[in-house]
Structure 1
Amino acid sequence: MPAAPAAQGWSVAGAGARPAAGYGGRHGDGTGDGVVALTWHGHSTVWLEDSGTRLLTDPLLRDRLAHLRRRRGPLPRLPGAPDAVLVSHLHADHLDFPSLRRLPTRTPLVVPAGAARLVRRVLGPAAGTCTELSPGEQITIGRVTVRAVPAHHHPGRGPWSRQQAPAIGYLIDGQARTWFAGDTGLFDEMADLGPVDLALIPVGGWGPTLGPGHLDPPAAAEAVRRAGAACAVPIHYGTFWPIGCDRIRPDRFLHPGDDFARHATAVAPATRTVVLHPGQSVTVRQS
């Protein structure tokens, strides 16, 4: 499968050096001059600062969700209000309404096409601006451009739900080009996304097995190869686990990040991988 040429001129500094509680706090001048900073809060929740614009992806800010419990990392402590929230799809571990209610009222939301009606119905006036995007459409937020890109994942709220919206990922263009993949399986058009400076790539899930429309570590390594990523941070693993399953395949909980790094070294040697623990931060700097 062809790949995009690897992005050049970006390096990683300070991986894990700053805890989430102390991260950021300066709006408008927290990043710039070729610096992008992020904190991984576990699962698919990432706080990203680029060009002074602060984005939050798929916020899951509590310690339990249905039969799942947060098994690793602190509860997220955000440094302030995000300029916007990016939601990749309708599944409850990505579109979590109790977590959205913890954000300042009327925080702008960006959601897949077909999701706004559900969001407005559940959140009511607190929903604020809710912008729907289909792949190829984009919106300007602060000093970055956010463009929806394809993702291959189940579109429903649940397995038998009538609430449907196609899953998407996002390309964020500012000082860097960041690909937040959301939740996805491999697809041929990944090469069209690149080159990207930073990939936030799912490498696992919340249970001992993965169904269709997901990336395991080898597939995630192939994804960053196709996208020509200069740097990659594995997400969507090692945070939530079903009640009573702690001793069932613990390797599927703890090891996907390191396994991804090992596979990426083999198939995408131009990509620098940074494995974080939930709550840790990293800075990506233009060199």
Structure 2
Amino acid sequence: MRITWWGHATTTIEANGTRLLTDPVLTSRIAHLRRRRGPAPLPEAGECDAVLISHMHADHLHLTSLPLVAPDAALVVPRGAAKLIHADSGPAFSDRCIEVAPGNQVRIGSLDITTVTANHDGRRLPWSGHSGPAVGYRVEGAPSVWFAGDTDLYDELAAEAGPVDLALVPVGGWGPSLGPGHLDAVRAAEAVRRVRAKIAVPVHFGTFWPIGMDWVKPELFLPPGDKFKAAVDPEVRVELLEPGESIEVLA
């Protein structure tokens, strides 16, 4: 298996000839946020068999990035997101949507994917009436992968997402505050403990920041990755990647 982190929550999971792309943000800007570390992902980032969308927030369901994804890729999205995609991008995109909710399963190529709960607000905020559940995904395989999307800890996390070989876990955010429904570095380490991951790749930090606020709470930009590594059980292998960097994971 090959894991590539493109920045923020965007990763490629490649195994057994199948490529999955999570929460693609393939540009240098999201509204008032700009990419401060690494260039925009290479065009190859959009090459995938399916996109896994965790929720409707604009930094996860980034409508501007969808045209940069392979035109025949399935779009696995939370229930309710297809209507939003149809309204913005038309049937060429909404017809490719597979809507899911926690507990649903879908097979993409050689991989089985189970939708799991995320403790996070799934609404398309702030000026949209579109809503649906926030979700994560468990990719069954050798090794298995939990992509958390955005979440906080919740009671059923261990049973739904674990045990798992590798966790793609959010450890921070994109601004000078981190509200409810998110994991900071310490809570992310607890999430990894609960799902009993052997390998952890911290994501959702050190990529985007509000324009004009470069020096506001810089300790929330890059340090969450190191803080997470320090907080995780020493037996867990933590891979701190740079945007665009990949790792190979053996079964």
Contact kept, 8 Å, 1:106 with 1:125, in 2: the verdict is: no
Q: What residue in structure 1 maps to residue 135 of structure 2? A: 168
Alignment correspondent of 2:17: 52
> Given the alignment, which residue of 92, 115, 123 partners 1:148?
115
Q: Please tell me the residue identity of whatever aligns with 1:87.
A: I
Residues 1-287 of structure 1 mapped to structure 2, 5 A cutoff: 36-79=1-44, 81-127=47-93, 128-159=95-126, 161-192=128-159, 193-264=161-232, 268-286=233-251
Q: When the two structures are aligned, how many residues end up with a matched partner?
A: 248
Structure 1 letter corresponding to 2:240: V
SS in 1 for 2:7: coil
- Deviations 1:159-209 (Å, cap 9, x if unpaired)? 453211110000001221100000001111111121101100000000011
Q: Which runs of 5+ in 2 are unaligned?
A: none
% identical aligned pairs: 54
Query: In angstroms, what is the RMSD of aligned CA positions?
Result: 1.2
2-side partners of 1:174 and 1:143: how far apart?
A: 9
Asked which structure has the greater RCO (Cα within 8 Å, sep 6+), the reply is 1
Distance 1:78 1:175, change over 3 A: farther
Answer whether contact 2:49 2:72 (CA < 8 A) is retained.
no
Distance in 2 (CA, whole Å) between partners of 1:103 and 1:228 is 32
Please list every run of at least 4 consecutive aligned residues from structure 1 whose deviation after the TM superposition is greater than 4 angstroms. Answer: none
**Aligned mates of 1:129, 1:69 — CA distance in 2:** 29
- SS of the residue aligned with 2:59? coil
TM-score by length of 2: 0.96
Structure 1 residues without counterparts, runs of 5 or longer: 1-35
CA distance in 2, matches of 1:284, 1:42: 19
TM-score (norm 1): 0.84
Higher Cα radius of gyration: 1
User: 2:38·2:243 contact (CA, 8 Å) conserved in 1?
Assistant: yes
Letter in 1 for 2:214: D
Report the Cα distance in structure 2 between the residues aligned to 1:270 and 1:234, rounded to whole angstroms.
Answer: 16
Structure 1 contact 47–55 (Cα < 8 Å) conserved = yes
Distance 1:110 1:277 in 2: 26
AA aligned to 1:249 is K
